[in-house]
């Protein structure tokens, strides 16, 4: 069973409402609340999974994933893959709530953040969770979505990287439930993000505590952030990876019958393995460097040079053994920019 409702997230200065759509599948229903639709799940309604996409509006593949999943769950699939019947097997009770476009402001701009004029304090929606109904624009939008997420037993926040980022799933290191969810999603690479104590200062400086995944995990709700390949362009492979991942999560939680496929991949840590530009210039990656490559400490990854004098300003080298999970797509770099992301393997 499927239902969907329009949800007003906030209003713009002109009075124009910022609208999105909430979908519900399975046991749960959407009922009229004081400020719009609310989720209602019967006491014996089983597990609830919440999934959203496009907090960063240019990351369009997550929205495409939720559309294709909708097709499979409702039997209206736009492809030849086996549909999932009514989604909820007679013996399996549960609910999926999905929001394909969590941030219409960035979606319309095909951007990562909003213009300062709309939210100068939290230009990045993914730094202000769980939001504040009396706060800035993004805080208000997060606060409207939060009740759907906080009612869930598991949360998936779909993001995408650039074509030059290896598909991976981020979870809170040390949290076994989040780890289990990440394995059920099934990407080969899992990135275990530090829980706080041993995170570098970037954690605090970039307000990572306000990430949706972190806020929900702290509420005791297992949450993952899959980073599918590609932004801006709907890419078949990324959509299929995302749909397979969602089906794995729904199976793990018992919303769909069956078990997720066994996971057999690599766990690494991120954020500590950035090779950054020591100076501004043009970056030339080693011609054979590709995402997914294994690199060793000290390995040459590329160079930054002065385009006017041709002088080499920096030979960029890996500062650890690991897996290349991103390579700068734009060659014009400013000092401090990430050239290559190297995820350090922490488990085989």
Token digits of residue 208: 């990572």
> Does residue 56 bind Zn ion (CB under 5 A)?
yes
| Residue tagged 């100076």 (tokens) | 279
Closest by CA position to 332, among listed 311, 309, 304: 304
The 8-class DSSP code of residue 228 comes to: E
Closest by CA position to 164, among listed 28, 347, 330: 330
- Whose Cβ is closer to Zn ion: residue 48's or residue 66's? 66
Rounded to the nearest whole angstrom, what is the least distance from the CB of residue 161 to Zn ion in the complex?
8
Q: Which of residues 176-235 bind Zn ion (CB under 5 A)?
A: none
Closest by CA position to 284, among listed 342, 318, 333: 333
Rounded to the nearest whole angstrom, what is the least distance from the CB of residue 316 to Zn ion in the complex?
25
Binder among 23, 68, 140, 159 for Zn ion (CB under 5 A): 159
Q: What are the CA-CA distances from residue 258 to residues 67, 92, 155, 251, 283 (Å)? A: 22, 10, 19, 6, 48
- Whose Cβ is closer to Zn ion: residue 39's or residue 125's? 125
- Whose Cβ is closer to Zn ion: residue 159's or residue 230's? 159
Rounded to the nearest whole angstrom, what is the least distance from the CB of residue 173 to Zn ion in the complex?
19
Rounded to the nearest whole angstrom, what is the least distance from the CB of residue 126 to Zn ion in the complex?
6
* x-marked contacts with Zn ion along 106-145 as a string, rule CB under 5 A: ----------------------------------------
CA distance 339 to 328: 5
Rounded to the nearest whole angstrom, what is the least distance from the CB of residue 114 to Zn ion in the complex?
14
Which contiguous run of DSSP H or E holds residue 273?
none
Local structure of 119: helix, strand or coil: coil
Closest by CA position to 141, among listed 122, 116, 120: 122
- Looking at 30-38, 55-63, 71-79, 147-155, which segment touches Zn ion (CB under 5 A)? 55-63
- Looking at 23-31, 52-60, 143-151, 325-333, which segment touches Zn ion (CB under 5 A)? 52-60
The 8-class DSSP code of residue 120 comes to: S
Closest by CA position to 129, among listed 226, 211, 52, 220: 211
Per DSSP, the chain holds a count of helices (H) and strands (E) of: 7, 19
Q: Which of residues 57-96 bind Zn ion (CB under 5 A)?
A: 59
- Looking at 20-28, 157-165, 287-295, 307-315, which segment touches Zn ion (CB under 5 A)? 157-165
CA distance 145 to 92: 26
- Whose Cβ is closer to Zn ion: residue 95's or residue 126's? 126
Rounded to the nearest whole angstrom, what is the least distance from the CB of residue 58 to Zn ion in the complex?
8
- Whose Cβ is closer to Zn ion: residue 4's or residue 207's? 207
- Whose Cβ is closer to Zn ion: residue 54's or residue 295's? 54
- Looking at 31-39, 84-92, 138-146, 152-160, which segment touches Zn ion (CB under 5 A)? 152-160
- Whose Cβ is closer to Zn ion: residue 27's or residue 59's? 59
CA distance 9 to 24: 17
CA distance 52 to 142: 12
Residue count, binding to Zn ion (CB under 5 A) = 3
Strand-pairing partners, residue 156, are 51, 224
- Looking at 155-163, 280-288, 298-306, 308-316, which segment touches Zn ion (CB under 5 A)? 155-163
Closest by CA position to 26, among listed 100, 89, 101, 102: 89
- Looking at 8-16, 70-78, 156-164, 191-199, which segment touches Zn ion (CB under 5 A)? 156-164
Q: State the residues that interact with Zn ion by CB under 5 A.
A: 56, 59, 159
């Amino acid at each position: 069973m499927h239902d969907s409702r329009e949800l007003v997230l906030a209003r713009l200065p002109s009075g124009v409402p910022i609208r999105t759509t909430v979908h519900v599948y399975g046991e749960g229903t959407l009922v009229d609340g004081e400020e719009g639709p609310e989720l209602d799940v019967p006491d014996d309604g089983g597990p609830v999974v919440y999934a959203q996409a496009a907090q960063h509006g240019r990351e369009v593949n997550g929205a495409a994933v939720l559309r294709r999943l909708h097709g499979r769950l409702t039997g209206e699939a736009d492809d030849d893959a086996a549909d999932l019947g009514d989604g909820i097997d007679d013996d399996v009770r549960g609910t999926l709530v999905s929001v394909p476009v969590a941030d219409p402001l960035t979606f319309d701009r095909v951007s990562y953040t909003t213009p300062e004029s709309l939210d100068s304090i939290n230009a990045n929606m993914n730094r202000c969770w769980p939001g504040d109904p009396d706060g800035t624009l993004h805080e208000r939008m997060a606060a409207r979505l939060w009740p759907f997420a906080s009612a869930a037993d598991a949360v998936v926040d779909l993001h995408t990287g650039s074509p030059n980022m290896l598909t991976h799933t981020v979870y809170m290191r040390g949290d076994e439930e989040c780890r289990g969810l990440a394995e059920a999603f099934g990407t080969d690479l899992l990135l275990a993000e530090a829980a706080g104590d041993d995170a570098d200062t970037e954690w605090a400086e970039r307000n990572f505590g306000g990430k949706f995944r972190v806020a929900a995990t702290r509420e005791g709700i297992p949450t993952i952030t899959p980073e599918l390949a590609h932004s801006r362009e709907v890419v078949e492979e990324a959509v299929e990876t995302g749909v397979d991942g969602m089906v794995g999560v729904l199976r793990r939680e018992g919303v769909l019958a069956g078990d997720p496929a066994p996971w057999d991949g690599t766990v690494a840590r991120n954020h500590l393995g950035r090779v950054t530009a020591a100076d501004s210039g043009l970056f030339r990656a080693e011609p054979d460097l590709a995402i997914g490559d294994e690199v060793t400490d000290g390995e040459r990854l590329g160079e930054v040079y002065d385009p006017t004098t041709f002088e080499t300003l920096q030979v960029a080298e890996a500062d650890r053994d690991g897996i290349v999970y991103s390579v700068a797509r734009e060659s014009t770099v400013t000092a401090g920019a990430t050239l290559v992301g190297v995820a350090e393997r922490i488990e085989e």
